[in-house]
Amino acid sequence: MQAENSDYDNGYFTSSELSLCAALITLGFPLYSLDKTNPQKAVFVFKYTPDLDKTIEEFWSKQLRIEPISFFEAQRFVKSRIYGG
């Protein structure tokens, strides 16, 4: 797995990778919170599940398939959470 920042010990997965977060949201994984304490990088927080882990592995191995329009909408949602306040 290539996630840049994960915290499985506390039961959460964190990442600032916009495309990965949009893919997870597209597939129905709820966004738990958004940490914007660092003004240079927003960190998205998801509750850890084995399905989440499998999906992340599929994303990084380029085997994940998702519906393009839903993915685009999720990207817009993610960006609005980052820049919308």
The total number of structural domains in the chain stands at 1
* Model confidence, pTM: 0.85
**Domain range for 67:** 5-83
**What is the DSSP annotation of 18-61?**
HHHHHHHHHTTPPEEEEE-SSTT--EEEEE--HHHHHHHHHHHT
Sole residue written with tokens 């660092």: 38
Sole residue written with tokens 């709820």: 30
In this prediction, residue 3 carries a pLDDT of: 47
**CA 80 to chain CA centroid, nearest Å:** 14
Residue 57 CA: distances (Å) to CA of 27, 32, 53, 61? 14, 20, 6, 6
In this prediction, residue 13 carries a pLDDT of: 94
Per run of 10 residues, the mean pLDDT along the chain (length 85 residues) is 55 94 97 91 93 96 96 95 81
